Amino acid sequence: MVEQFEYIRRSAGNRPVKLFELGRVFINDSGQYPIKAKSKEMLPNQPWHLILASFEPTGNSFRVVKGMIEFVEAKAGVKLNPTYKELAGGFIAEIDLDGLSLSAVYQYKALQKYPGVERDLSIILPPDVSWEQVTTEVRKQSPLIVKIEVFDVYPEKGSLAFSLTFQEPSRTLKSEEVNEVMAEVVKTLQDKFKAIVR
C-alpha cells in the first residue's frame, strides 16, 4: 500500500495529491463466517479499513491528513486513534472502520417543529489551528448553533468555508438573533485564532 502511494506521489511531480482507499484488509486469523454452509472452518477475518494520504509540496501534509481524520470523527461522532506513517513529502493514516462501527453510539431525535437558519462563513487560519479547535470555539458561542459543517477546504491557502445551522426548538428564530451570534462567532475566531474572514 505504501509503495503504491509513493508511486502516485512521484508520478504527480510537484503537484499536491490527496488520496483515500476504502477496502478490506485480509488478516490471517479466523473470522465469523464459515467457508461453506454448515462448515466449522471459518473464512479469514476481513475488516474494512480506510486509508487517507496527502502529499503537499507546501509541507502541509500532516495538517491535511489530520483534518481528514477530524472530519471522519465529526461525522461518526467518535474520537479516533489512527495509525499514521510519515512518507517523503507526505503522510498516510489508516482507520479500522469495523472497530469504528462497533464503538459508535447512535442517538435519535424527533424532527424539529420550527425551521433552522443556515449561514456560511469563509475564513483563513494560521497553519497550527485545527478544525476541531474551530468547532469547539464556535459551539461555545450559543446553544442556538445546532450544526457546523465544512464544505470547502483550500489547505495550501489555510482557508476553509463552513455552514452553521441555527435552531430554537420552541420558536422560529429572527434574523437579528442569528446576526448577533454570527458577529460573536467572527469576533471569537479573529481574537482567538487570528482568523481572517474572506
Q: Is pLDDT larger for residue 138 or for residue 77?
A: 138
- Report d(CA 182, CA 122) in Å as an integer: 12
- DSSP-based helix, strand, coil % in the chain, nearest 5: 35, 35, 30
pLDDT above 70 covers a percentage of the chain that reads 82
CATH topology of domain 117-197: Alpha-Beta Plaits (3.30.70)
Per-residue pLDDT tens for 79-94? 777 666 666 667 888 8
pLDDT tens digit string along 50-80?
A: 888 888 777 777 778 888 888 877 777 777 7
Phi/psi region, residue 127 (left: phi>0; alpha: psi -120 to 50; beta: rest), is alpha
Q: Give the CATH H-level superfamily of domain 2-103.
A: Bira Bifunctional Protein; Domain 2 (3.30.930.10)
Q: Where are the domains of the chain?
A: 2-103, 117-197
Which grid coordinates are listed for 129?
489551528
Q: Say whether 117-197 and 2-103 share the same fold.
A: no
